[in-house]
Structure 1
Amino acid sequence: MSAQSSPDLRRFPRRAAFIIAEYTAKEGSFRDIIKNIGATGVFIGTWRRIAEGQPIELKFPVFDFENQLQVTGKVARSTQKGFSVVFDQPIDGLICREGHFPEIVHEIDR
């Protein structure tokens, strides 16, 4: 297993998610589903081919639907099922405390 694909080498853990994200990359502006999330990144499920290595801007709710986070990052990996983003700065509210992942919103809860 390569260092890039091993979840054990991530700085912070990720958890499954179902959150609609708006994002802008060189390919355009789109909306797709965040499939997993952590303090330092996300995986977005999509059929779109988003090029690796490019900067990206994202907007999505995490803790409640009325307050959207705006973050920037870099596309770290792209596959046929989606792409992963590493944030420029960690999202402090998503850092696990005492072994527990903070509560986040999910689209199925709307």
Structure 2
Amino acid sequence: MNMQSNINQRRFPRRAAFIIAEYSVKEGSFRDIIKNIGATGIFIGTWRRIAEGQPIDLKFPVFEFENQLQVSGSVVRRTSKGFSVVFDRPIDGLICKEGHFPEIVHEGDR
């Protein structure tokens, strides 16, 4: 599946992000940067070769650095620059309301 068809299938928009995520997959437990985020998924930038189709557990801050979300999902796409995750359940606070994306934290704000 190519990037363009993936974007067209999203139920909710994504926006650029720079958030450190901790995650566990069959390859191990790692920390990498979320490059974009939406209510139903993220893209994690990494050089690691994470296999598609596997479950993933993640922990990362979205609205406050002190409060980490814990979510699970599936790795749905891999590129040379990282991989995409679709969450098992949408993150309610990231659903755009009236065309406005909620404020999120960025590592540069620390």
TM-score normalized with structure 2 length: 0.95
User: 2:66 is aligned with what amino acid?
Assistant: E
2: distance between equivalents of 1:2 and 1:33? 22
User: 1:17 is aligned with what amino acid?
Assistant: A
1: distance between equivalents of 2:84 and 2:72? 13
Matched, 1:41 2:29: no
2: distance between equivalents of 1:39 and 1:59? 15
Count of paired positions: 110
5+ residue gaps in structure 1? none
2: distance between equivalents of 1:85 and 1:99? 23
Aligned-residue CA RMSD in angstroms? 1.5
1: distance between equivalents of 2:42 and 2:15? 9
Is the 1:3–1:9 Cα contact (8 Å) retained in structure 2?
A: no
1: distance between equivalents of 2:64 and 2:5? 30
Matched, 1:32 2:32: yes
TM-score normalized with structure 1 length: 0.95
- Closer, same or farther: CA 2–33 of 1 in aligned 2, 3 Å: closer
Is the 1:22–1:59 Cα contact (8 Å) retained in structure 2?
A: yes
2: distance between equivalents of 1:79 and 1:62? 24
What is the Cα deviation at residue 3 of structure 1?
A: 7.4
1: distance between equivalents of 2:71 and 2:14? 17
Structure 1 residue matching 2:70: 3-state secondary structure = strand
**Residue in 1 that maps onto 2:87:** 87
5+ residue gaps in structure 2? none
Runs of 4+ displaced beyond 3 Å: 1-6
